[in-house]
């Protein structure tokens, strides 16, 4: 299948393109490079051994995006595009609603116009809200008081609703919604990985910067949660397992029984912050300096999923270990030539905005 990958230069998108090619699919990639770099496309091409059509396009720009729909032909779209920093979304709600909802609607309207019926949407475990009890099933998000704690998560829930209503109104339209838990790690080549702008919000890329001396130590946000060591527990999934999960959903488009699928993509296992630090140290034979500080606003004790539906219906299982997640994360960070000084400079610039 030939697939338009929106946001394909991003962390999950780039790894998914690699796995799509491994299974014989081809892609067209669009990305506005707001939170990614052109070198990612070059590195994807190095891994897959061929060039991919890339267009630097903002998916909110209907006129420009339509030129790609006119010029290229594809049978499905994967929607990775969107802003995804939870904390930033609280500070800039209007930008998040405008960008994430507008880009999704623009793509869906162009799919309609060009008779493209198949879409995979990159959603998030954030749609489960803080009252859901782990292990979380896909059906939980209706029962557990969908108290989403940030605009980022709200945009994911709204786009899911748009896809559900479109699938209800148009039986030729087929939508797969994938709810990610905590994607971490990098491709084994060390050429692509997680490269957030500025100081990372998320745990694993922060640990990676401490491990490579770009940041002095990790702040552990609270050790008074109801978990075995008091630190937050999450369902970390290797980004390559996550990417393979996307490829496994393509078979849904031949399924005549229904036209809407929702899957959790996670391991079903929880790992605490301190456990992850220990795993990182063991995997890479180094030590990570950390300080226990106060809780971060909005964090919850535990969040991990029941991946049974994806395991059974997609015949997909996350198989890479936490050790492999840590090893690949460090290898990428080590290869990713950004000095500590440059990182601090970038952060100072970000703060000024
Ligand atoms: C994990 C644990 C923190 C940083 C978020 C989004 C979610 C998804 C993944 C997009 C928590 C602790 C963290 C640090 C720490 N993104 N932590 N020190 O919050 O589970 O999920 O990212 O879809 O939507 O909500 O991930 O990595 O930020 O935090 O102690 O410097 O690590 O308290 O327990 P989170 P995270």
What digits encode the pLDDT tens for the residues 148-186?
Answer: 888 999 999 999 999 999 999 999 999 999 999 999 999
Number of domains in the chain: 1
High-pLDDT (> 90) share of the chain, %? 86
CA distance 19 to 26: 10
Report whether residue 126 contacts ligand 1, using a CB cutoff of 6 Å: yes
Report whether residue 124 contacts ligand 1, using a CB cutoff of 6 Å: yes
Q: Which domain holds residue 43?
A: 2-339
What pLDDT shows up at residue 339? 47
Q: Give pTM, 2 decimals.
A: 0.94
Q: Whose CA is nearest to atom 30 of ligand 1?
A: 220
Q: Out of 221, 264, 279, 290, give the residue to mutate to test ligand 1, the one with the largest number of ligand atoms within 8 Å of its CB.
A: 221
What pLDDT shows up at residue 146? 60
Prior bond of 135 cis (ω within 30°): yes
Q: What is the pLDDT of residues 53-78, one digit of tens each?
A: 999 999 999 999 999 999 999 999 99
C-alpha angle 97-192-126 in degrees, rounded to nearest 5? 35
Domain assignment of residue 199, yes or no? yes
Task: Look at residues 325, 155, 134, 115 and name the one whose alpha carbon lies nearest to residue 238.
Answer: 325
Q: What's the mean pLDDT in 181-193?
A: 97
Q: What's the mean pLDDT in 124-146?
A: 83
Which residues belong to the active site?
Answer: 152
Task: Look at residues 351, 309, 298 and name the one whose alpha carbon lies nearest to residue 147.
Answer: 298
Compute the distance from residue 59 Cα to the ligand 1 centre, in Å.
27
Q: Any idea what the CATH number is for the domain that residue 319 is in?
A: 3.40.50.720
Domain assignment of residue 350, yes or no? no
CA distance 330 to 325: 9
CA distance 6 to 68: 11
Q: Out of 182, 214, 267, give the residue to mutate to test ligand 1, the one with the largest number of ligand atoms within 8 Å of its CB.
A: 182
Report whether residue 61 contacts ligand 1, using a CB cutoff of 6 Å: no
Q: What is the pLDDT of residues 15-33, one digit of tens each?
A: 999 999 999 999 999 999 9
Report whether residue 86 contacts ligand 1, using a CB cutoff of 6 Å: yes
Of 149 and 262, the one with more pLDDT: 262
Report whether residue 232 contacts ligand 1, using a CB cutoff of 6 Å: yes
Judging by beta carbons within 10 Å of its beta carbon (0-12, 13-18, 19+), is residue 213 exposed, middle or buried?
exposed
Task: Look at residues 323, 306, 297, 318 and name the one whose alpha carbon lies nearest to residue 262.
Answer: 306
Report whether residue 295 contacts ligand 1, using a CB cutoff of 6 Å: no
Q: Whose CA is nearest to atom 18 of ligand 1?
A: 220
Helix, strand or coil, per DSSP, at residue 262: strand
Report whether residue 202 contacts ligand 1, using a CB cutoff of 6 Å: yes
Domain assignment of residue 344, yes or no? no
pLDDT for residue 141 is more than 50: yes
Report whether residue 299 contacts ligand 1, using a CB cutoff of 6 Å: yes
CA distance 304 to 297: 19
Residues 6+ apart with CB under 8 A from 23: 247
CA distance 236 to 321: 9
Report whether residue 84 contacts ligand 1, using a CB cutoff of 6 Å: yes
Q: Whose CA is nearest to atom 1 of ligand 1?
A: 203
Q: What's the mean pLDDT in 126-137?
A: 90
Domain assignment of residue 52, yes or no? yes
Q: Could you give the residue ranges of the DSSP H alpha helices within 114-150? A: 140-143
What pLDDT shows up at residue 353? 44
CA distance 229 to 274: 8
Domain assignment of residue 345, yes or no? no
Q: What is the sign of the dihedral through the CA atoms of 62, 125, 35 and 95?
A: positive
193 close to 265: Cβ distance less than 8 angstroms: no
Ligand 1: which atom is nearest the Cα of residue 124? Answer: 23
β 233-234/182-184 pair status = unpaired
What pLDDT shows up at residue 302? 95
Q: Whose CA is nearest to atom 31 of ligand 1?
A: 203
pLDDT for residue 351 is more than 60: no
pLDDT for residue 349 is more than 70: no
Q: Out of 296, 298, 304, 329, give the residue to mutate to test ligand 1, the one with the largest number of ligand atoms within 8 Å of its CB.
A: 296
Compute the distance from residue 203 Cα to the ligand 1 centre, in Å.
6
What pLDDT shows up at residue 140? 82
Domain assignment of residue 216, yes or no? yes
Which residues are paired to 218 by β-bridges?
290
Domain assignment of residue 110, yes or no? yes
What pLDDT shows up at residue 78? 99
What is the average pLDDT score of the chain? 94
Q: What's the mean pLDDT in 278-283?
A: 98
Report whether residue 206 contacts ligand 1, using a CB cutoff of 6 Å: yes
Ligand 1: which atom is nearest the Cα of residue 126? Answer: 24
Ligand 1: which atom is nearest the Cα of residue 84? Answer: 10
Compute the distance from residue 334 Cα to the ligand 1 centre, in Å.
22
Domain assignment of residue 348, yes or no? no
Q: What is the sign of the dihedral through the CA atoms of 56, 60, 63 and 69?
A: positive
What pLDDT shows up at residue 148? 84
């Amino acid at each position: 299948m030939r697939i338009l990958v929106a946001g394909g230069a991003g962390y999950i998108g780039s790894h998914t393109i690699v796995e799509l090619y491994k299974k014989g699919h081809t892609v067209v990639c669009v990305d506005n490079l707001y939170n990614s770099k052109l070198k990612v496309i070059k590195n994807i091409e190095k891994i897959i051994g061929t060039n991919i059509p890339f267009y630097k396009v903002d998916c909110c720009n209907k006129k420009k995006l339509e030129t790609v729909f006119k010029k290229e032909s594809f049978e499905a779209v994967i929607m990775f595009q969107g802003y995804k920093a939870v904390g930033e979304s609280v500070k800039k709600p209007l930008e998040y609603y405008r960008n994430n909802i507008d880009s999704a609607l623009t793509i869906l309207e162009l799919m309609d116009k060009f008779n493209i019926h198949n879409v995979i949407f990159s959603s998030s475990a954030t749609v489960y809200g803080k009252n859901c009890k782990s292990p979380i099933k896909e059906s939980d998000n209706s029962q557990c008081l969908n108290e989403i704690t940030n605009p980022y998560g709200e945009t994911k829930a709204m786009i899911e609703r748009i896809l559900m209503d479109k699938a209800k109104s148009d039986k030729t339209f087929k939508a797969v919604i994938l709810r990610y838990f905590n994607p971490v790690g990098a491709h084994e080549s060390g050429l692509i990985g997680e490269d957030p702008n500025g100081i990372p919000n998320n745990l694993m890329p922060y640990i990676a910067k401490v491990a490579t001396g770009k940041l002095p130590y990790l702040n552990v946000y609270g050790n008074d949660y109801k978990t075995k060591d008091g630190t937050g527990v999450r369902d970390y999934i290797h980004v390559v397992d996550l990417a393979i999960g996307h490829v496994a959903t393509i078979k849904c488009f031949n399924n005549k029984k229904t036209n809407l699928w929702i899957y959790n993509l996670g391991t079903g296992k929880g790992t605490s912050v301190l456990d992850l630090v220990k795993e990182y140290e063991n995997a890479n034979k180094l030590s990570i300096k950390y300080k226990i500080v106060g809780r971060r606003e909005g964090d919850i004790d535990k969040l991990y999923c029941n991946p049974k539906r994806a395991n059974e219906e997609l015949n997909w299982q996350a198989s890479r270990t936490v050790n492999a997640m840590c090893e690949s994360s460090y290898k990428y960070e080590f290869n990713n030539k950004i000095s500590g000084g440059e990182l601090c400079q970038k952060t100072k610039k970000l703060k000024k905005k």
